[in-house]
Amino acid sequence: NAGVTQTPKFQVLKTGQSMTLQCAQDMNHNSMYWYRQDPGMGLRLIYYSASEGTTDKGEVPNGYNVSRLNKREFSLRLESAAPSQTSVYFCASSEDVGGLRSYEQYFGPGTRLTVT
Amino acid sequence: SQQGEEDPQALSIQEGENATMNCSYKTSINNLQWYRQNSGRGLVHLILIRSNEREKHSGRLRVTLDTSKKSSSLLITASRAADTASYFCATDVGIGNQFYFGTGTSLTVIP
């Protein structure tokens, strides 16, 4: 099993350019997440998808859009990149949620994005 | 924000010593998890403790949870150089499977 994979690993964009970050998982998880990690800020949730066909905003959704293409894939799109979006982006997945039960999240290796 | 905060921000110890890091959070939680992140890598789940548990062990890891103080601690016993990493606590918000991550403790274990 590859677990959670992300592409690309590195990306440099100019202000105003657009791009899509790809994420895929092969663990048959229903839930998928996109986080950004900035120095001294920890991880902040951008968007999440509790199941195929559903997406919800997290803590910092502005400037981003997501697509849950199918159960395996969850993409993050920056329509018009800004320097403030320079960050490391992590995709994660987890098993179903039920009541108060929670499950560990499995993380991809990250995408390092620089916007100049 | 319900973000947890780890303390200390950085910790440097000798191999073989114990490492203790703490996490404080602001609101009631269902669960709390600890993750490790090696430099340049994704996070790896270490241990989950539920709100009705007070202590949990996994190998050299010991986690405690004090819901009255809204705090948790992670103890790594007999540390090794390979334990060098950043450690994050993550608290749930009771909505789906969303977690808020803290800012992390950077642990350096000197051989």
Question: pLDDT (tens digit, 9 = 90+) per residue, B4-57?
Answer: 788 899 999 999 999 999 999 988 888 899 999 999 899 999 999 999 999 999
Q: What is the CA radius of gyration of chain B?
A: 13
- Considering only the beta carbons, identify the residue of B94, B97, B103 that sits closest to A94: B97
Q: Which of A63, A99, A66, A95 is nearest to A82 (CA)?
A: A63
- Considering only the beta carbons, identify the residue of B1, B48, B97 that sits closest to A97: B97
Q: Count the neighbouring beta carbons within 10 Å of the beta carbon of residue B30.
A: 15
Digit-coded pLDDT (tens) for A8-48? 999 999 999 999 999 999 998 888 999 999 987 789 999 99
Contact A48, A31 (CB under 8 A): yes
Q: Do A97 and B88 touch (CB under 8 A)?
A: no
Contact A44, A57 (CB under 8 A): no
Q: Do A109 and B33 touch (CB under 8 A)?
A: no
